[in-house]
Amino acid sequence: MSIPREIAEEAASLRKTISYHNYRYHALDETEITDGEFDRLFQRLKSLEADYPELVTDDSPTQRVGAAPLASFSQVQHELPMLSLDNAFSKEDLIDFERRINSRLGSAQTITFTCEPKIDGVAVSLMYEDGKLVRAATRGDGTTGEDITQNVRTIESVPLRLQGDDLPRRLEVRGEIYIARSTFERINQQAQAAGEKIFANPRNAAAGSIRQLDPRLTAKRKLTMFCYSVGLVEGGNMATTQYEILAQLRQWGLRVNPLVRTVEGAEAGYSFYEDILSQRQDLDYEIDGVVFKVNSIDLQQALGMLTRTPRWAIAFKFPAEQALTRLLDVEFQVGRTGAVTPVARLEPVRVGGVTISNATLHNMDEIARLGLKIGDTVLVQRAGDVIPKVVSVDHASRPEDARDIILPATCPACGSEVVLLEGEVIARCSGGLICSAQRKESIRHFASRLAMDIEGLGDKLVEQLVDEGLITSPADLYQLTEAQLVGLERMAPKSANNLLAALDKSKTTTLPRFIYALGIQEVGESTARNLALHFADIHALEQAGPEELQAVPDIGPIVAGKIVAFFHQEDNRKVIESLLATGISWPSIETSVASATLAGEVWVLTGTLTQLTRNEAKARLQALGAKVAGSVSKNTTCVVAGDAAGSKLTKAQELGVKVLSEEELLVMLQSHGQGNS
């Protein structure tokens, strides 16, 4: 259907008018028409586009939301890296920054700085081609980010098409996406009313919103953005100062922070910093400092950059925000690795724009250092995304009924003994195989490649099995049936049978792998192998005391104590018996006295091995009693040099240390009975 000329002209005029008023509202914070008049224009354009779909352009104001949900985000390579900034924390740091600039420039001039409030949000890159938004990406690691174009298109303050005629052919704009404080409070109120999870702070809310796979959800969060610089510029002229570049961006329709100023020298910069700090709580957005940039682009280029940071910019961070409140109680939480951590329950208090009711206490040593008791008045600190912490205690105001904080004797999650060994600061639950708090982690570790190597049993499947109540310990894995597995999401009969076959295959293992799979604290592959060679039997290891364990190479009193505590737990021993009852077995091995033909020797592996992996070579050498070190010294017995061996080979030759090729290593292993996988 052909579009009448007057309709096409009206639609084009409406798009231009709506974009102009968006520019006035978002970039200049000014309005020329009422909200009602704007809505009337917008609805008229939507009506025309509905009647004549051919009129729709992808940069039309009506097309901000409408893309289908993504399956995942694709990767984006930044054509120019998005650098990090060095930090300043005092006036002296800022003065030193100016001094370093002059030293590098070989001058003693007063530097003009552009000063910008440091928005506490999510750094993004916007790419415009011929004025049209074609891509948006997260900062990522500075080199590679994620393509978030569909989500950024929902942000009303980000123009889909820039204003003006003097635009570069390609322009990369960088800035910070955030959620206003007032919007954040509204979102959390709505979530709380709906019984949903609330966000901890505006930055987390912005980061979670911008990475929604469904752009319609992002649109509901009402994100906004301040632009602070440009990256790649092709086919156009940019201003010669940072401040004028920001003015250009504002002129083209991009939103720039209205508090940006230029100052002469570090002293004036510090005055600006103090002024912004005094306004911090009155702003409708979170800031965590002030960014100072050398204003002259020529000077920026002369100063250059370090590996990841420019020499011409610095972030002067605000001091951590603090507040006084009362410690109501202390609860102990069990982490996925069994660490038992005290958590302070506080009388709710506002710190840095966020209500704090919990804070970490780290460990019992920290509680002792603070001299903390339940009922005390405490100073709580929050700095950025760091978990709130108790900084100090007002002992003078301690109430008479203040109570001591006592480490529980048993795990709050499973009732197993809590162990705090001498010389350690972290208490741990000893019920590694049966503790509900550690369940997913212990099963994931049990199934991992270097442990029981159960192919197809990944993290997500472990979570499903635990969440569905199908397994409570590693032993339950071997009781799973096809009927149970096919009832899980995305588990077809073929996948179920493949997993069952992998479980059956894993029953034939080695004693070192089995010991490692138990997940005993501080018992890695090397220690597990030493234990297997020394005891040759799992039940002999179960019954070993601290002195006998310390006779094993590389096992001291702390590791011995953790092994004893693990096997002392009756429920752990029951799980081991259940595992053995499923048919798990291994070939018998000789004790260390008979098989440790390389005992006392120190070997080093360097370069690329082509017939063995580094882990396989290390395991076979350790099985013969050798210690495999990471560096060459006069105590090194032998160095195995693979392809492209570097400084370790050179040092071995300088010290006269014996060097073997990979082929010679394989011959040696074969002669010692270690030739097969």
Cα separation, 118 vs 374, in Å, equals 37
For 235, the enclosing helix (H) or strand (E) is: none
Cα separation, 212 vs 216, in Å, equals 9
| Residue 305 C-alpha from the chain's centroid | 26
What's the full length of the chain, in residues?
677
Pull the structure tokens for residue 79: 């054509």
Cα separation, 325 vs 378, in Å, equals 6
Cα separation, 604 vs 582, in Å, equals 39
* Share of the chain residues as helix, strand and coil, in percent rounded to the nearest 5: 40, 20, 40
- Strand, coil or helix: 299: helix
**DSSP label at residue 196:** P
Pull the structure tokens for residue 517: 């799979």
Phi and psi dihedrals of 6, rounded to 5? -65, -30
Distances (CA, A) of 403 to 330, 373, 576: 10, 5, 41
DSSP per-residue string spanning 407-469: --SB-TTT-PBEE--TT---EEES-TTT-TTTHHHHHHHHHSTTTT--TT--HHHHHHHHHTT
| Residue 360 C-alpha from the chain's centroid | 19
For 113, the enclosing helix (H) or strand (E) is: strand 112-119
Give the residue numbers annotated as catalytic, written as ranges.
118
Tally of CA atoms within 13 A in the half-sphere of 619 that contains its CB: 21
Cα separation, 407 vs 214, in Å, equals 45
Please state, as a whole number, how many other Cβ atoms lie within 10 Å of the Cβ of residue 116: 28
**For strand 75-77 and strand 144-146, is the pairing parallel, antiparallel, or unpaired?**
antiparallel
- The strand pairing partners of 660, in sequence order, are 640
Cα separation, 586 vs 571, in Å, equals 23
Residue 394: CB partners within 8 Å, gap ≥ 6? 324, 376, 377, 378, 379
Cα separation, 624 vs 641, in Å, equals 19
- The strand pairing partners of 343, in sequence order, are 331, 360
Contact 343, 331 (CB under 8 A): yes
The CA dihedral of 185, 188, 194, 195, to the nearest 10 degrees, is -140
In 3D, which of 616, 611, 599, 602 has the Cα closest to residue 648? Answer: 602
- The strand pairing partners of 105, in sequence order, are none
Pull the structure tokens for residue 334: 């069990």
Residue type, 665: L
Place of tokens 């009388």: 347
- Strand, coil or helix: 610: coil
Pull the structure tokens for residue 460: 């997500």
Contact 172, 143 (CB under 8 A): no
Distances (CA, A) of 28 to 36, 123, 205, 257, 286: 20, 22, 26, 10, 20
